[in-house]
Amino acid sequence: MSAMRAVGAVNPIERVFREAGVTGWLHAADIDDGREVALRAGEPVVLASVFKVPLLVELHRQAERGLLDLTEHVRVTAADRVGGGTGLGVMLDDATLSIRDLAYLMMAVSDNTAADVLLARVGREAVNTLLDGLGLTTTRVLHDCRDMLSGMWADTGAADQSALTQACADPEVVARLRALDPALSNRSTPREMTRLLAMIWRDEAAGAASCGAIRRLMGLQVWPHRLASGFPFDDVAVSGKTGTLPTVRNEVGVVEYPDGGRYAVAVFTRSLSTAQNQPRADAAIGTAARMAIDQLRNHADRGAVHI
Amino acid sequence: MDLVRHLGYFLVVTEELHFGNAAARLGMAQPPLSQRIRRLEEELGVRLFERSSRRVALTEAGRLLVPEAREIVARVERTRDLMSDLARGDAAVVRAGVPADLGAAVVAALIAGFRDRRPDVRLAPVEMGTAAQVAALLEGRLDVGLLRHPADVNGLDHGPVLVRHPGVLLAEGDELTAWATVHLGDLAGRDLVLFPRDAEPGLYDDTLAACRRGGFVPAEIISTDRAEFALGLVLSGTAVAFGAPAEVPGVVWRPLAGAPLAWRCSPAWRAEPGPYVRDFTAVAVQVLKDSAGMVDEGAPPTRRVAPRPATGFLA
């Protein structure tokens, strides 16, 4: 009886995830008054490319301290290229870019090669020390993109990127991937990610100029299919960073309303299906985020909404 | 035939349900009254009463006619009263144009508020859209009006501009009621019920332009200035409407995110204001704030398009 009632009472955000064939973890917070909507928001999740956000913060903090120069030019050669479908990794010739333009590619199109060049500059331990300093102690950056990919090659026995893509269509193979285990991979929780975003938007994660530069890059991300798909409105600004691995679709970001309301939201999903093209799963991230933000904007619901 | 007078006879008969008693009340003999009711029946092409030797009863058509007849007779009486006041050239009347959809409570508050402030002067409100008010003000047929902006106010002066940000009225079963706030773009593909363009040309165009900017191009626009009719269309799920919350079961109101619609209103008068215009303006501004949810217009809100790399130029 109570079980039946529980089924009938499935909260609408949970229903959106179910209908898209995914399990979802979500946290949304009003950046200015701290009210929140949470769904499994304290559980560890795999970051995938979302790890590029704390990396970007540490990059700017090192620049603030004079440890690196964002305008310094770096030569990216064939040896630096990492798998992934965008950016420097798929280009055929060596390129020279400034550190801050590498950061742009890392955020705009999730360029893995750019991310690895920057992480090598900044150092993983430095990123984790920053996270400790910000109180984000569940969030860890253990691997760069090359590590993640080579781990998946090892787990699947694939000899190259093409073989890995084919192998990851097999649910049994996907089940073996260590990259999909939060304990063994770059990880965080939805709640820690919205805390990081809120600190970036309140100029607390770094100096105000750095936070402004980070916000600019997050607003230049090109993907319209996940978080942004929930807000197809010209007067709503959406900034974000996606993360994608086999069965993993994530995005964290900030949604800003024309009335000044601004909301940090972190959505992490795992799909049952191993199909790579799942537009419904991508769109569910946007829909769930809008539902959570709609609850935060409904001032009748005061205080925390735990679901 | 004088339809209004005949409807008056009809109403007396419906109250008495006895031709003799009704004739006595009207101070006339029974045969001419019976004859007039028959002529009304001929004029309308229906039987209004079932007559037997013992009793008189309304037919279905007669029952339907009662509320209509009451309204027609009452309106004609009101019009006569108003015109006779004006004909007397009574300086103690302020002729004020008010928009059709102001609402009963606001009109009542307007009249009561003016009566409190100037007990010696009678406020004669006339229901009129902005286009008609502008013409009537310029021609001297109105002393003061409540105009919707934008309007062509050449030759007129106007008082403080008040603004209201309407929300959207939806049928209870509409899936959009799941949201606490609705975006204009969410309404895409729905029909819209809106005041007629003839009555409010400026605001009509302004509202539709804002809708198009926000991603809402109504599949069809149904024009009416009758609030009841508009609510009926909303209730049936046929169309959505913009406005203030309506206390109607089955209709749900939601605010529009970002307040994309701004409906502005101000008292207006001819370049040389009549003697009581200042009083009317003071009362109207207070009533519109207290009873119609309007506020002083602050800095005009600027609508900013937030650029996105994949949806802007040349992507």
pLDDT at A185: 97
pLDDT at A9: 62
CATH topology agreement for domains B3-83 and B166-254: no
pLDDT, tens digit, 9 for 90 and up, residues A230-268: 999 999 999 999 999 999 999 999 999 998 999 999 999
Percent composition of chain A: helix, strand, coil (DSSP 3-state, to 5): 50, 20, 35
Which residue of B304, B308, B310 is in closest CB contact with A258?
B304
CA distance B274 to B197: 29
pLDDT at A5: 41
Residues in chain A with CB shorter than 8 Å from the CB of B305 are: 234-235
Residues in chain B with CB shorter than 8 Å from the CB of A298 are: 180-181
Do A233 and B308 make contact, defined as CB atoms within 8 angstroms? no
The domains found in chain A, sorted by start residue, are 14-50+139-306 (3.40.710.10)
Average pLDDT along chain B, 315 residues, taken 10 residues at a time: 91 91 91 93 93 86 91 82 67 85 86 91 91 93 93 90 94 94 94 95 95 94 90 94 90 93 93 82 93 81 82 72
Which residue of B179, B185, B309 is in closest CB contact with A220?
B309
For residue B308, the 8-state DSSP code is -
CB of B309 within 8 Å of a chain A CB? The answer is yes
User: Class assignment of domain B90-161+269-296?
Assistant: alpha beta
ipTM of the complex as predicted: 0.78
Which residue of A222, A233, A259 is in closest CB contact with B309?
A222
Domains in chain B: boundaries: 3-83, 90-161+269-296, 166-254
CA distance B268 to A73: 65
CA distance A272 to A46: 16
* Closest residue of chain A to B303, computed from CA coordinates: A235
Which residue of B181, B259, B306 is in closest CB contact with A234?
B306
Domain B166-254 = CATH 1.10.1740.10: no
Phi, psi of A125 (to 5 degrees): -60, -35
The CATH number corresponding to B3-83 among 1.10.3720.10, 1.10.10.10, 3.40.710.10, 3.55.40.20 equals 1.10.10.10
Residues in chain B with CB shorter than 8 Å from the CB of A108 are: 309
Residues 6+ apart with CB under 8 A from B171: B234, B235, B236, B237, B250, B251, B252
CA distance A27 to A260: 20
Q: pLDDT tens, position by position, for chain A (307 residues)?
A: 333 444 456 799 999 999 999 999 999 999 999 999 999 999 999 999 999 999 999 999 999 999 999 999 999 999 999 998 999 999 999 999 999 999 999 999 999 999 999 999 999 999 999 999 999 999 999 999 999 999 999 999 998 888 999 999 999 999 999 999 999 999 999 999 999 999 999 999 999 999 999 999 999 999 999 999 999 999 999 999 999 999 999 999 999 999 899 999 999 999 999 999 999 999 999 999 999 999 999 864 444 444 4
pLDDT at B132: 94
Residues 6+ apart with CB under 8 A from B301: B259, B262
Residues in chain B with CB shorter than 8 Å from the CB of A294 are: 179-181
Query: Where are any strands of DSSP class E within chain A?
Result: 22-30, 36-39, 45-46, 73-76, 95-98, 187-188, 237-245, 248-256, 262-271, 305-306
Q: How far is B161 from chain A (nearest CA, A)?
A: 21
CB of A234 within 8 Å of a chain B CB? The answer is yes
Cα-based torsion angle of the residue sequence B78, B82, B84, B90 in order, rounded to the nearest 10 degrees: 150
3-class secondary-structure state, position A18: helix
Which residue of A12, A221, A235 is in closest CB contact with B258?
A235
- Apex CA B42: angle with CA B41 and CA B48, to 5°? 15
Element (H, E) at B278: helix B277-291
pLDDT at B90: 56
Please give the interface size between A and B, counted as residue pairs whose CB atoms are below 8 Å apart. 64
CB of A108 within 8 Å of a chain B CB? The answer is yes
For residue A243, the 8-state DSSP code is E
How many CA atoms are closer than 13 Å to the CA of A19, on its beta-carbon side? 13
**Residue of A105, A233, A236, A287 to mutate, testing the B interface (most B Cβ within 10 Å of its Cβ):** A233
* Closest residue of chain A to B177, computed from CA coordinates: A294
Q: Give the CA radius of gyration of chain B.
A: 25
